[in-house]
């Protein structure tokens, strides 16, 4: 992703998600968190779905404002 064209919010989200992703990987690889624990499964989910979790930063127009208004 070209961070120059990203909004300030997306730049912040991307840096936080990268830090979270790295931390999750480190915790699982070091054995500090068990793979089969609830936390381990949550970390694996973040790792597997990271791209989808930040899609709103990569794809213009992806947002859930309309859904939020309907709720």
Tell me the domain boundaries of the chain. Answer: 8-70
Model confidence at 3, pLDDT cuts 50, 70, 90, reads: very low
CA distances for 5 relative to 1, 11, 13, 54, 60, angstroms: 9, 9, 14, 15, 11
- Cα torsion 28, 34, 39, 40 to 10°: value is 50
Residue range 45-66, pLDDT digits in tens: 999 998 888 877 776 666 666 6
**What's the pTM?**
0.68
pLDDT for 11: 76
């Amino acid at each position: 992703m070209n961070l120059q064209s990203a909004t300030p919010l997306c730049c912040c989200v991307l840096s936080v998600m990268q830090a979270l992703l790295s931390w999750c990987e480190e915790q699982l690889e070091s054995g500090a968190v068990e793979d089969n624990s609830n936390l381990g499964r949550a970390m694996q989910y973040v790792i597997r779905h990271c791209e989808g979790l930040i899609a709103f930063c990569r794809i213009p127009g992806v947002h859930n404002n309309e859904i939020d208004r309907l709720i």
